[in-house]
Copies of this chain bind each other. A is one copy, B any other.
């Protein structure tokens, strides 16, 4: 790549935006040239927007941005619509995304962590290596909406681990039914509406509003042919546990064709990521199986593949649904958010969905 693409990050002062910035640290293809923040931050250098009057830092993500980002001026989102960037990462709230992502997409690609457009019929939810063929739909989206760019959202962070682990099973055995319980990390709730320590110390919160519906819809959309959702049924219960990062999910799968723990493990281990080779944020493996019966564990496995590898363990026969059951873990703020968005941008760039602007 002769010259880096210029990228903007919307919502850069929020935790999701910070995660995108951290994932772009020393990125060989992308250079952050514009950052959007809240009205409170607008006009300040990004470094100042991250500093409280008390001297406290508001940088909360693991890792850090490129040093050059600190001196970029934070701008209001409306000031960024015409900024000279080749693509934007949108890490804003659903409400802001609904209003502003289309404005940016008129001109340039928008890679989004927000859920605002995920359920639109012309918007694919993309995980590189899992449903690459869906990307074609971006051309139709462009055409239909009269945009030069497009909106390409990543899935909800709870969908990601489930979809990645189901993909090789679906290909090999035909998934017929899925029952899933998630034990989600508190970082998934972000900071603005973050989980209070009071509520999660010595506790489990058995409800995350909207989450179960998202996972059920998204998993079937991602794993189906583009024309319609996958035909299997999915039922979820999503809970919050006292974990910082890393969503654990227990998964019970019924299949069309006979499967057992050995054949399921083989299918998962075989699951190739040829399509990801050469992408700067791609892990060696998108999916790995751990034979240790006590794994995966969020603390010990979330950083596999620098947070980009999904780990499956405890593969066993599933007697009720007639298939296999297992536990899957994925890093919700890396693969499931900022770094996953960057990986998608990389893949779309290599596949020529992103143009270098003038």
Contact = CB atoms under 8 A, between A and B. Distances in A.
Interface string A297-339: 1111000000000000110001111000101000000000000
A115 B250 CA distance: 26
Nearest to A195: B197
Copies of the polypeptide in the assembly: 4
The listed residue with most B CB atoms (<10 A of its CB), out of A195, A202, A248, A254, is A202
A203 B300 contact: yes
A166 to B, nearest CB: 14
A178 B320 contact: yes
A97 to B, nearest CB: 22
A202 B204 contact: no
Given A233-B320, A235-B325, A202 B54 contact: no
B197 A297 contact: no
A57 B292 contact: yes
Contacts of A313: 206
A250 to B, nearest CB: 4
A172 interface: no
A250 B239 contact: yes
A197 B294 CA distance: 16
Contacts of A54: 209, 293
Interface string A152-168: 00000000000000000
A55 B197 contact: no
Interface stretch (A130-138, A186-194, A343-351): A186-194
A88 to B, nearest CB: 26
A205 interface: yes
12 contacts: A56-B293, A56-B294, A178-B320, A179-B179, A201-B242, A202-B298, A203-B299, A204-B297, A206-B313, A209-B293, A234-B320, A320-B321
Given A194-B198, A206-B296, A235-B319, 18 more contacts: A57-B292, A57-B294, A179-B252, A181-B250, A194-B197, A197-B242, A198-B244, A202-B242, A204-B297, A204-B298, A206-B248, A206-B250, A206-B294, A206-B295, A207-B294, A233-B320, A235-B252, A241-B242
